[in-house]
Amino acid sequence: MTKAELKILIDTAAGRLPAELVIKNCQIVNVLSGDIYAGNVAVANGKIVGMGAEDYDGAVVVDADGKFLAPGFIDPHIHIESSYISPEQFGRIVVPCGTTSVIADPHEIANVCGLRGLRYMLDAATKTKLNIIYAMPSCVPAVSFDDSGAVLEAEDMCELFSDENFFGLGEFMNVPAIVHADDSALNKILLAKKFGKLIDGHAPKVAGKFLNAYMCAEIVGDHECRTLDEMHERIAKGMYVLIREGSACHEPLIGGVTSANSRRVLICSDDRQPKTTLELGHLDNNLKLCVEMGLDPLTAIQMVTINVAEAFRLFDRGAIKIGARADLVLLDDLKNFHVDKVWIGGELVARDGQYLPATIPADISDVRGSVKVKNFTADRLNLHLSSNRVNVIKLNAEGILTEKIVADVQLDETGNFVFDAAQDICKVAVIERHHETGKIGLGLLGGYGIKRGAIAVSVAHDSHNIIAAGVSDDEIFSAVNEIIKLEGGMVLVRGGEVIASIPLPIAGLMSDLSGEELRDKLDDLHDKAHAELGINADVEPVMTLTFMSLPVIPEIKLTTRGLFDYAKFDFIPIEAQRS
């Protein structure tokens, strides 16, 4: 800030200069004092210079007519790539929902394209009014025994880590690496400390001494809590807890929020598809759900504003206070949280659900052509077993956790797995798509419900190889081949025919379509996945499948290298021991 700029703020606050923007007759939601009161807010140079009963003249005056003026909402943990749309399109659909800032971890594209992908994300962020603050991906790959498109060690991070757009290290998913003091993990943590950066967490089912060891890295928060006991332990030991409400993950932790601990609780969306945002909303919808579950509205608003700002050191936002960024949301009420207007830095950017600025796409040429597959033939999908008693990935329809179960399956006369329509167990395959290694991991998936055809996706957390599931090798082969032709995407095949497809040209992760266009295509694909392939109605067919290859989430997953048991933190055979 220059002296001249500071003088303008002071003179405007004192009433010697007219404000650029005055919002009059509003109910100010003060997340600092815990009060809601009538007043006015004045803005100059994108900052709040007046608030309360004082009256101000302004170049633009907005009569709020008694509506509620809240700080702009901040999402503390999001993967933009998992919306399947570009950052500029993501901003276009979440800003009208009152979201003015997000902390985004771009580890999806980093796992595919490395630093090249991060540079694309930085460039794309300049094309939207949404303030996107990035995390430096901490685990690329998520674990050392997976096959990603890139590897980021501490020395690789130095080039971009000093950029002010990176708040710190993103979710440190490789918990054992920290708990067992792995050199590579410690180097990344010490680098973050050297630059004065924070470290975000990811620690499902970690407790006791292991949690203590993990938190010695000064982990800020965890969005992987599943139980109230986990929530209370983390808060008591000094972590923030991020309650997640996304498209596939819904966490029952609101009941654990009390007047004593609420300031240590944040709300995030993590992974949220355009359909969910366009039809239900973003953090505004999460606030509505909180109030429906009995949470006080002001407490809920604190969880998406000041709590996030304090946790992640965003001291220039998160509250309506003098000197803060004028990131403001005008709400019709504090029950449904309908958003009337949104200002970012004092600029009106959304009105009545419409994003006002022009949307200019970023250049995607550096992140195209990311699908490279070698030595892929249909016979390589044969699952030859020495026993029909097998370990199965049992899907949990309520989220991304899985269960390891043992089942007896059908084999042909040569010992190959044969799909049985009467048994809800299908073949799942993960095909390496970055370095033409030819690796293919094969496993069995239960609870998905597919009865016909196959589905393939080039999104497969977090290394993002191609994941496919189906009832026959030929159909799986056809679906994967179509992914290769599209250079990334989502494909449904039935009877050898492609019945739905969505290209994802941006690193095989994101579409170049608008949010609305992609929503319509996803609706069609989802409808056909349920109606024509028979996938269970309570299963989100795409996003659920994409998490079946994430080995850092319990209990059992599949990578290009085989079946991985989270509890053992090691690979296991498909054949199960007989008791």
Residue 350 in this model has a pLDDT that exceeds 60: yes
Asked if the peptide bond before residue 108 counts as cis, ω within 30 degrees of 0, the response is no
pTM of the model: 0.92
Q: How confident is the model at residue 266 (pLDDT cuts 50, 70, 90)?
A: very high
pLDDT tens readout for residues 524-542 = 999 999 999 999 999 999 9
pLDDT confidence bin for 142, thresholds 50/70/90: confident
Domain limits, the chain: 3-66, 73-319, 368-572
Angle at which helix 515-531 crosses helix 87-94, to 10 degrees, equals 90
Give me the residues paired with residue 446 across strands. Answer: 394, 425
pLDDT at 164: 78
Q: Is the pLDDT of residue 241 over 90?
A: yes
At 246, is the pLDDT very low, low, confident or very high (cuts 50, 70, 90)?
low
Q: For residue 223, give the 3-state DSSP assignment.
A: coil
H/E element holding 377? Answer: none
> b/e string for 124-150 if b means 16 or more Cβ within 10 A?
bbebbbbbbbbbbbbbbbbbeebbbbb
Gap between the Cα atoms of 31 and 20, Å rounded: 24
Token duo for residue 70: 């809240």
Fold of 73-319: TIM Barrel (3.20.20)
Sheet holding 466-470, edge to edge: 402-408, 389-395, 440-446, 425-431, 466-470, 454-457, 489-494, 497-503
* Superfamily of domain 3-66 in the CATH hierarchy: Urease, subunit C, domain 1 (2.30.40.10)
pLDDT tens for residues 116-135? 999 999 999 999 999 999 99
